[in-house]
Amino acid sequence: MKKIIALAGMALLLNSCYNDKYTKLYPASTTSVTCDTATVSFSSTIQPIFNSYCTSCHSASGVAAGYGDYTSYTKSLTSQASSGNMVNDIIITNTGDIHHMPQSQPSLSACDIEKITAWVNQGAQNN
């Protein structure tokens, strides 16, 4: 009798298990988000990113003022862009590098980095 109860219990236990595939339970999103880097302009694309992440330090009175004032289109900003320092500093994210930008804040999104890189590669124009 104990064997029958044990077998019935095992049958119930095994019957309650299932083998669903993760991809069927959690399908990948069919909508892909694209990053528009074809229509990047300083005033409508880059300046808002700088205002959100950079200008607290990179301003005339900020702690990183010597490394460029990002509050407006300035010569120091364009020199940082043309030297490669701007893009290098924002791309170096989770390496523990002291120069990671923005400091003490989350990293910029991949799309924001792509937009800044595209703007720099297009000549860092004041447009």
Domain extents in the chain = 42-121
pLDDT in tens, 72-92: 998 878 888 888 888 888 876
The pLDDT value given to residue 92: 66
The pLDDT value given to residue 12: 60
3-state secondary structure the chain: CHHHHHHHHHHHHHHHCCCCCHHHHCCCCCCCCCCCCCCCCHHHHHHHHHHHHCCCCCCCCCCCHHHCCCCCCCHHHHHHHHHCHHHHHHHCCCCCCCCCCCCCCCCCCHHHHHHHHHHHHCCCCCC
The pLDDT value given to residue 77: 84
**Ranges of the chain with pLDDT below 70:** 1-2, 6-33, 65, 92-100
Q: Read off the pTM.
A: 0.68
